[in-house]
């Protein structure tokens, strides 16, 4: 005896497994060594083998004489042979039906999912706008209540916001590899650099808004634009926000307010632009002026030492002031713009009256010279006539000047070549675009998979039914 | 020389339905014996065996390894027996009760019928293991795969089934002696 207790379950399991030839080589060696010395274990194995024979004999004897062949063959006859393949068209039909169902489900539910995703983007963008707005207000508090400059606002606001990602609009389809200067948010140029107390109703003044590449409001969030207001709140506005459409809207008055036959307002505009290429921009500025019916008075270009500068002074029809300024603004980034309208209506009326009076004096003087008997001295009469004529000419010249100034506006544009300073982290190169595309694709695939899983209770039973039906038909 | 199961299966898949008759002839004894032993009713066992053969015929194309036809067929039979007992409510089928001996009804008759009755009163789990191992010659790994358990667990179950079988046979021989 090897001292192995026979009431040990582990040992008996090993012995049982060895009886079935299911133990390992090591176990077999141990069992063989044990069996050589242990009579009870040999007896147990022999008994087990005998039991097996008795069991098989008894169980199979209980069903002696059974023959199912005829019955089974009879039932097999109407069945399709198991090796026969599906007709190809039937398999194609199955796949087609399944694919159609899946496509219909995707078509139904994907827009819903996309809508909710768009809402999430809108909320994220709203948060960005609010953070930028709060940063701008903090900047103003630190700078004598003066808002950031409309051109350098990002640079100035950046220290007051948590990170640069707030300058990224998640709904901007251009993605993160867009040009660095194409920032999705723009500060209202009419507000930049001004003091907080310049505005009577800060809750109505838009400071930051979603914008496209040209700086116009971009309704990229469900047909609306997220706007940040001067009092710090942010709001989604459907359509183009009021006061921001069309850019500059300076134009001569077209109504008679009862003050004169026609109002006379002389416009004079100056603008400073930062551009990327001074040569192209100066030529484009001249073309913009002529395109609006104006003419260039002076065009200078200095490209010897940096910063390269150019200046274009021109005259344009008064009603084209706004259009010309907008076209000039599109050439680069507006650093400063100043448009002054001088109301010369009263001067025009006064000059008209003075001209009429001068004409009367001239007529009287002329009559006096023709009737020498009525005057004390012909020399005095001639002197009076000359004075009247001179006065009439001067007044007429003044009227002409007013007409000219109110008909043609003067615009002086100063262009400076400068690279944009935008502190938004940029992921350069094609790789970022490829990564973004890959990520987007994976996201879409994941969404499709999620939707398929969510609605598996619809298509899975349908697929099973189709499968069963095809099997029945096959049978 | 007799053809193997795999050869017969490939013949059936090739369109020779008569070859399936040979498969039925070859396995019907064990299949019916298994079903009768598990559910305790010969007539029902024959019906059930027929159903199992039909089901096997229908799904023959899905059989990956034709040489394992016997084991696969046993799986079908076992599943149908479980379903039959479950529907009829004839036996408790929970895992805990698999090895609890069924209560003896009346005193079993003597002789061969008494032995069969004793064997039929074995716990259901023991009968499953014994039929798989002794009638269908399945390995522990195959049994474990079929039952969804581990080989170690099958070893334990085999030992317990053998002990139950020994007890039943001892009781039968004791009755014959008395």
Sorted by where each begins, the domain ranges of chain B are 1-90, 94-178
Considering A220-224, A320-324, B47-51, B115-119, the range whose residues carry the highest mean pLDDT is: B47-51
Distance from CA of B55 to the nearest CA of A (A): 10
Q: Is B133 on the interface with A (CB under 8 A)?
A: yes
**Residue holding tokens 């358990």?**
B149
Pair (A260, A356) in one structural domain: yes
In this structure, the strands spanning A408-417 and A206-210 are: unpaired
Counting one residue from chain A and one from chain B, the pairs whose CB atoms sit within 8 A come to 124
Q: What is the pLDDT of residue A244?
A: 52
Q: Write down the residue that tokens 């907080």 correspond to.
A: A196
Indicate whether B36 pLDDT > 50.
yes
Higher pLDDT, A317 or B92: A317
Same domain for A54 and A153, yes or no, is no
Instruction: Answer yes or no: is A104 within a domain.
Output: no
Statement to judge: residues A237 and A279 lie in one domain: no
Do A385 and A284 share a structural domain? yes
Q: What is the mean pLDDT of chain B?
A: 84
Tell me which chain A residues have a C-beta less than 8 angstroms from the C-beta of B21.
Answer: 69, 72-73
For residue A412, the cross-strand partners are A270, A313
Return d(Cα B98, Cα B86) in angstroms, integer.
Answer: 13
Rounded to the nearest 10 degrees, the angle between the axes of helix A456-474 and helix A88-142 is 170
Residue A181 token pair: 């200067």
Flag if A59 and B37 touch (Cβ within 8 Å).
yes
Place of tokens 């827009």: A111
Task: Please give the DSSP secondary-structure letter assigned to residue B34.
Answer: H
pLDDT in tens, A413-433: 999 987 755 444 444 444 556
> B75 to chain A, minimum CA–CA distance in Å?
18
Residue B14 confidence (pLDDT) above 70: yes
Give domain status of residue A394, yes or no.
yes
Residue A464 forms part of a structural domain: no
Whether A456 maps to a domain, the answer reads no
A9, A61, A68: residue with CB nearest B24: A68
pTM of the model: 0.45
CB contact under 8 A, B50 and A72: yes
Q: Report the distance separating Cα A189 and Cα A249, nearest Å.
A: 13
> Does A189 reside within a domain?
yes
Taking an 8 Å cut-off on Cβ atoms, the answer to whether A62 and B17 are in contact is: no
d(CA B91, CA A60): 22
Instruction: Summarize pLDDT for A95-107 with one digit per residue, the tens.
Output: 888 988 888 888 8
Pair B107, B71: CB distance under 8 Å? no
A273 within domain boundaries = yes
State whether A281 and A412 are in the same domain.
yes
Q: What tokens appear for A31 in the block?
A: 């069992």
Pick from A421, A436, A423, A420: which is nearest to A167 by CA?
A: A423
- Bridge partners for A185 per DSSP: A210
Domain with A334 in it? 252-426
- Tell whether A46 lies on the interface with B, counting CB pairs under 8 A: no
Low-confidence ranges of chain A (pLDDT < 50): 1-2, 177, 243, 245-247, 260, 422-430
Whether residues B17 and A81 touch (CB distance < 8 A) is answered with yes
- A367-371, B29-33, B79-83, B121-125: least confidently modelled range: A367-371
Q: Please state the ipTM of this predicted complex.
A: 0.85
B1-90 fold: Rna Polymerase Sigma Factor; Chain: A (1.10.1740)
Same domain, A297 and A206: no
Cα(A106)–Cα(A104) distance, integer angstroms: 5
Within a domain: A79: no
CA distance A43 to chain B (A): 13
Respond yes or no on whether the N-terminal peptide bond of residue A191 is cis (omega within 30° of 0): no
- Nearest Cα of chain A lies from the Cα of B134 at a distance, in angstroms, of 7
**Contact, A15 vs A45, CB < 8 A?**
yes
Residues of chain A contacting B115 with CB distance shorter than 8 Å = 54, 58
Residue-level pLDDT at A427? 43
Residue in A with minimal Cα distance to B45: A63
Task: Say if A59 is an interface residue toward chain B (CB within 8 Å).
Answer: yes
CA distance B152 to A42: 23
Element (DSSP H or E) covering residue B142: helix B140-147
CA triple A429-A430-A434, angle to 5 deg = 135
Whole-number pLDDT of residue A414: 93
* pLDDT, position A86: 64
Q: Do residues A151 and A224 both lie within one domain?
A: yes
Phi–psi pair at A334, nearest 5 degrees: -75, 120
Q: Are residues A52 and A131 in the same domain?
A: no
Answer whether residue B124 shows pLDDT above 80. Answer: yes
> Can you give the pLDDT at residue A410?
93
Q: Provide the pLDDT for residue B90.
A: 64
Residues A277 and A224 in one domain: no
User: For residues B69 and A366, which has the higher predicted lDDT (pLDDT)?
Assistant: B69
Same-domain status, A261 and A394: yes
The count of structural domains within chain A is: 3
Are A166 and A288 in a shared domain?
no
- The pair of three-digit structure tokens given for residue A205, joined into one six-digit string: 């003044």
Within 8 A of B164 by CB-CB distance, chain A residues are none
CATH 3.55.40.20 fits B94-178, yes or no: no
pLDDT of residue A8: 76
A30: in domain: yes
A136 plus A54 within the same structural domain:
no
């Amino acid at each position: 005896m090897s001292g192995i207790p026979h009431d040990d379950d582990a040992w008996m399991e090993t012995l049982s497994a060895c009886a079935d030839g299911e133990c390992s080589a090591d176990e077999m060696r141990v069992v063989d060594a044990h069996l050589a010395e242990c009579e009870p274990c040999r007896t147990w194995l022999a008994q087990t083998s005998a039991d097996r024979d008795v069991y098989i004999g008894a169980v199979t004897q209980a069903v002696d004489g059974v023959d199912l062949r005829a019955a089974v063959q009879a039932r097999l006859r109407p069945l399709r042979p198991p090796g026969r393949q599906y007709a190809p068209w039937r398999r194609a039909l199955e796949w087609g039906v399944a694919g159609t169902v899946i496509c219909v489900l995707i078509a139904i539910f994907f827009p819903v999912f996309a809508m909710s995703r768009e809402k999430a983007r809108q909320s994220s963008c709203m948060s960005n706008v609010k953070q930028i707005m709060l940063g701008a207000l903090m900047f103003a508090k630190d700078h004598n209540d003066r808002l950031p400059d409309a051109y350098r606002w990002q640079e100035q606001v950046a220290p007051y916001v948590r990170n640069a990602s707030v300058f990224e609009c998640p709904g901007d389809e251009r993605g993160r590899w867009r040009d660095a200067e194409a920032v999705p948010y723009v500060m209202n140029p009419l507000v930049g650099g001004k003091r907080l107390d310049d505005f009577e109703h800060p809750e109505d003044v838009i400071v930051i808004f979603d914008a496209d590449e040209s700086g116009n409001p971009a309704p990229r969030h469900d047909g609306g634009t997220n706007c940040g207001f001067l009092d710090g709140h942010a709001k989604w506005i459907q359509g183009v926000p009021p006061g921001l459409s069309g850019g500059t809207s300076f134009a001569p008055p077209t109504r008679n307010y009862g003050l004169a036959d026609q109002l006379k307002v002389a416009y004079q505009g100056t603008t400073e632009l930062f551009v990327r290429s001074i040569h192209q921009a100066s030529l484009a500025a001249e073309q913009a002026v002529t395109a609006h019916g104006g003419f260039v008075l002076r065009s200078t270009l200095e490209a010897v030492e940096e910063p390269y500068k150019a200046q274009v002074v021109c005259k344009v029809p008064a009603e084209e002031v706004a259009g010309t300024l907008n076209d000039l603004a599109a050439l680069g980034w507006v650093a400063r713009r100043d448009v002054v309208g001088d109301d010369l209506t009263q001067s025009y009326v006064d000059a008209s009256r003075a001209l009429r009076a001068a004409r009367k004096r001239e007529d009287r003087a002329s009559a006096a010279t023709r009737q020498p008997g009525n005057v004390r001295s012909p020399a005095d009469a001639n002197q009076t006539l000359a004075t009247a004529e001179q006065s009439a000419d001067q007044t007429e010249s003044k009227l002409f000047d007013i007409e000219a100034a109110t008909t043609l506006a003067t615009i002086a544009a100063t262009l400076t070549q400068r690279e944009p300073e935008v502190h938004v982290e940029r992921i350069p190169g094609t790789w970022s675009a490829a990564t973004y595309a890959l990520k987007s694709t994976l996201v879409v695939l994941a969404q499709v998979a999620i939707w398929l899983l969510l609605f598996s209770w619809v298509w899975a039973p349908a697929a099973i039914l189709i499968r069963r039906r095809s099997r029945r038909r096959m049978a | 020389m007799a053809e193997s199961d795999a050869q017969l299966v490939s013949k059936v898949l090739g369109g020779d339905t008569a070859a399936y008759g040979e498969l039925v002839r070859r396995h019907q004894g064990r299949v019916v014996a298994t079903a009768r032993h598990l559910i305790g009713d010969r007539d029902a066992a024959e019906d059930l065996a027929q159903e199992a053969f039909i089901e096997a015929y229908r799904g023959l194309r899905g059989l990956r390894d034709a040489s394992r036809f016997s084991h696969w067929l046993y799986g079908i039979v076992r599943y149908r027996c479980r379903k039959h007992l479950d529907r009829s409510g004839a036996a408790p089928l929970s895992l805990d009760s698999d090895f609890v001996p069924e209560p003896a009804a009346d005193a079993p008759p003597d002789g061969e019928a008494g032995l069969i009755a004793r064997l039929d009163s074995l716990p259901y789990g023991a009968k499953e293991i014994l039929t798989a191992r002794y009638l269908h010659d399945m390995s522990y790994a195959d049994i474990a795969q079929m039952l969804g358990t581990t080989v170690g667990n099958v070893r334990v179950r085999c030992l317990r089934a053998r002990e139950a079988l020994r007890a039943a046979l001892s009781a039968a021989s004791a009755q014959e002696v008395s």
